[in-house]
Each structure stands twice: as structure tokens, then as C-alpha cells.
Amino acid sequence: MIEIIDLHKKLGENDVLTGVNLSIKKGETLTIMGQSGCGKSVLLKHLVGILKPDKGTIKIDGIDIVNDKRIRLSDIRKKFGVLFQNSALFDSMTVWENIGFMLKEHKKLPDSKIKKIVTEKLALVGLKDIEDKSPHELSGGMQKRVALARAISMEPEIVLYDEPTTGLDPIMAEIINELIISLSKKLSITSVVVTHDIRSAYEISDRIAFLYGGKITQLGLKEDIKHTTDPKLRQFLDGSATGPIKL
Amino acid sequence: MFIFEWIGKKILNFLNNFGLITRFFLTALKWLFRKPFRWKILVEQMVKVGVETLPVALITSGFTGMIFVVQLYLALKSFGLEAAVPAGLALAVIRELAPVLAGLVMAGRVGAAMAAELGSMRVTSQIDALKTMAVDPIHYLVTPRIFATVVMMTAITTITDFTGIFGGYVVGTVAFDLNPYQFYQDVINILEPWDIISSMIKGAVFGFFISTISCYMGFNSKGGAEGVGEATTNAVVTSMIVLLIVDYLLNLILW
Ligand SMILES: Nc1ncnc2c1ncn2[C@@H]1O[C@H](COP(=O)(O)OP(=O)(O)OP(=O)(O)O)[C@@H](O)[C@H]1O
Ligand SMILES: [Mg+2]
């Protein structure tokens, strides 16, 4: 259970988040949609404590991760797997070292065991035989999938996906969609997905939230969102250049 | 005037950052005593620092020793004091030239490399990724780098002490016909253990400032590639200026 309460964040001169309220239930897949630059990635970064809000707070399973001084953020973070928008693979490490990083750091597994798990995770994202490559030898889409394999390496309770299918071909995007669904069903992972890919959002989500003007303006089951009459969300979903959304 | 203004700005900027850098270092220091101790990264960094600095430091100190003896010999000869060349060489190299040259080479190579590496990790979210993977980036990235640089700077200064004097010895005995045995004796006699120790202390202190400043600059880079470039330049320039100021202060303290 993730509760985001009245979250405010100003970055530079820009009021990015101006009172976000959102509860994400255990085991659900919630998709956050919104225009480019509206603060989706910034919002995700708050959930793992990489950014600190100016006002408001976040509770993970009832623990206030912003204000509670007794908790160690690193313990909370072990519950999470995070897929960064730009992959953020460690470029001084090989693919298997990247994916096995947390297994080595936190579980102290021997290399042979780690390599076995890495190969399994790579297979899940449709990759093989690239364990010893370095990230810069991979295409953008492959990097994204390696980063996804890394995010799920520790079988986290909560996975944050920042644009998991952007930059992938339609077939690979579909494979990733199915992977997100099966992870959430099989391991009852809580998934928070940021995406522009409306088709993918309809496919994977239980609920969809629309971030606009620094707030969640629409939130509902995907069927309800599909048939929304809110003019701004309608314009976004229909992808029309004219409408109430100011650019 | 422009150059003074520019240097002044850099120094002011540094003073502004002084508190932040101190806190940054204290955090890194705190992590030095926490488990796990990152041996593997420490050794990797030591090798890297050594490989990057040693060849250039050797060449620089060797040649400086050679040139220094040429000038010293010419200057002292006119007073009939060429016998003082070995002692002058030994003191200048050990107390000043070897640690400062090693430090400047280190700042140019290692400082720049550290700032660039950490800077690019910052702007591509790799530092954020470390955090989300429940690993403290200062513990993982900064502590071993500072530790490795301090250790290696101490070692490299000791080596450049030797190469600097050796360079001067070769020129003095070959080009100016100074007696090799006498040269050797003069060097040994003028030097005291404290000279060698304080040379190493200087090296260690320089290594500390170079690595702390460079890691700090890289770690806090902003923006994209441009920000990384800026952080790298700042790291090198700030390290070098601080190194020279600290060198002056150390001269007052150590001798
Ligand atoms: N470190 C930062 N410093 C200053 N401003 C920032 C910073 N990070 C993000 N911003 C600003 O915050 C706003 C939201 O950025 P964010 O990356 O969250 O957008 P987004 O919704 O993820 O967009 P996209 O869909 O293009 O990824 C943008 O206007 C951006 O310029
Ligand atoms: Mg984004």
C-alpha cells in the first residue's frame, strides 16, 4: 500500500507537483499518464525517496518515509524495483553484473548462483547470451530490457516502471506488457507504471491516473477511464492537437 | 586583471562550497568505518590511480630534477658553490618538487577522471539507481576513491622523491662532472627522516584534497554532458589552486 498525501515539489522555478493525492493498493497495477514534462518521473522518484517533497508525505505500508526519522530508507528501498526512464545501467559493469548487483550486495550470493538467476531474468525480458556485454554495446531497447531485468532481480514487492515500452518495437512492447501482467499476477507485485503508450496502459492497468497541472485530476478503473468525458483526459487519450489542454 | 578576477571568483566559489565539501567528506569518512568494507573497489581504484598517475609523475619529476640541477649548478657555480648542488637538489625535491608535481599530475589526471566519471553517473541517473538499489552512493563510490587516492599519493610521492633526485644525480654527475660518490653522500647527509616523512604527509594531504574536491564536483554535477564538462574543469582547477595554498600552509607547519 502506497499513500501519496498532498505532495508538493518545486524544481528550479517550476512548480512541478502541487498537491498530488493518490493511494495505490497492494497488488494492483496503476498507470500514471500525462503529458511530457508534467512530472511523472518526478513523482516516481519521490516514492523511493530520491527526491524529497517540499510539502506533503508518502507512506509505504503505513510508514512515513519522508518524516519518520527512525526508519532506514535503504530498508524501504529493498522492497522496490525501479526501472528508470533512461535505463540508468551502470556503464562500468557488464550486463550480468548490473542485473546481479543487488543479489551480490544484499544477498551475498556466489557468482555462479547470480549468473544463473541473471540468465533467467534475461530470458523473461526476451534476451539471451549478452551476459558479458557492456551496456553501451546494446541498443536502447535492449538496455531498457536489461534495466527491467535488473529491477526485478530481487523479486521486489513493488515495481516502478518509468516508460517500460518506450523505444521498443510493437512485438517487444507486447512481450513487456505481458511480463508486467504476469509478474503482477504471479508474484502479486504492486506495479506503478508511467507510460504514454495508451494501448499498453489499457492492457496492463487495473486503474489509471491522469496527472495534470501538478495534481491527479482523474483516477479510475481502466474501463471508466476509457470512456471518460473529462475534456482534458479525452483530448489526451484521443491524441488531438486541439482542446482544453494548454501547451 | 582578468586572470586575478577569475582566480578570485574560483576561490570565493570554493569558500562558499567549503562547508558542503567538508560535510561531504565527513559522510565519506563515516562510511569508511561501516560494513561492508569495499576491498575490491578500493584495489581497483588504487590500480587505476597508480596506472594513470605514475608514468607521468615519474617523467615529470625525473626531468624536473634534471633541469633543476642545470639551473642550480649554473647559479651556484658563479659563487664557487657547486658543491652545494646535491644538498640543494635533495631538499628542493623532497620538500617541495616531488609532492607538488605528483599532486598536480594527480589533479590533472585522476581528479579529472573522477569528476567526469561520477558526473556522468549523476546525469545518467546511475547514482539514483544505486540509491534505489539500497546502496549508499557515497559509501560505494566516494569513500574508496578518497582512500585509494590518499594511499597512492603517499606511495607515488615517495617514488617521485627518488626519481627527482635520480634525474638530478644523472645530470650532475654526467654533464657537470660532480663526483658520484660525493653526490650520494651529500644527499644522504642533508636529508633527515623527518624530510621523507613530511614529503609523504604532503603527498597524502594533497591526495585527500584532490580526491575529495573532485568527487564532490562530479557527484554534484548538474545538467547533461555540459554539466559534466564543467564539473571536470572545476575539479581540476579547484584542486590545483587548493593544492598550492595547502602546500604553502604545510611548509609553514612542517618546517
Ligand atoms: N532536476 C531537475 N531540476 C529542475 N527541473 C527539473 C528537474 N527534473 C525535472 N525537472 C522539471 O520537472 C518537470 C517534470 O519532469 P519529469 O521528468 O517528471 O517529466 P515527465 O512527466 O516524466 O515527462 P516525460 O514524459 O517527458 O518523461 C519538467 O518540467 C522538468 O523540466
Ligand atoms: Mg519521465
The tally of domains found in chain A comes to: 1
Query: Who has greater pLDDT, B36 or A8?
Result: A8
pLDDT in tens, A164-211: 998 889 998 998 999 999 989 888 899 999 998 899 999 999 999 999
Q: Rounded CA gap, B156 and B146, in Å?
A: 15
Q: Give the mutation candidate from B133, B136, B139 for the A interface (greatest A CB count, under 10 A).
A: B133
- Residue extents of the structural domains in chain B: 2-254
- CB B173 within 8 Å of CB B69: no
pLDDT of residue B215: 97
A121, part of any domain:
no
Is the CB of residue A229 less than 8 Å away from at least one CB of chain B? no
Alpha-helical regions (H) of chain B: 2-32, 39-77, 85-92, 98-106, 112-123, 126-132, 137, 143-174, 180-190, 193-219, 225-254
Q: Please state, rounded to an integer, the average pLDDT across all residues of chain B.
A: 93
Kindly indicate the confidence band of residue B16, based on its pLDDT and cuts at 50, 70 and 90: confident
**What CATH number is associated with residue A213?**
3.40.50.300
* Closest Cα in chain A to B136: A74
The answer to whether residue A206 is domain-embedded is: yes
Please name the residues between 74 and 113 in chain A that touch chain B, using a CB distance below 8 Å.
74-75, 77-78, 80, 82, 84, 86, 88-92, 101-102, 105-106
Q: How far apart are the CA of A82 and the centre of ligand 1, in A? A: 17
Residue B229 confidence (pLDDT) above 90: yes
Task: Compute the distance between CA of residue A213 and CA of residue A215 in angstroms, rounded to an integer.
Answer: 6
| Tens of pLDDT, residues A100-151 | 999 999 999 999 999 999 999 999 999 999 999 999 999 988 999 999 999 9
A136: in domain: no
Quick check: is A214 in a domain? Answer: yes
Q: Which residues fall within 8 angstroms of residue B6, CB to CB, at 6 or more apart?
A: none
Pocket of ligand 1 (CB under 6 A): A 11-12, 14, 16, 34, 36-42, 85
Give this complex's ipTM.
0.92
The residue segments making up the domain with residue A74 are 1-79+190-247
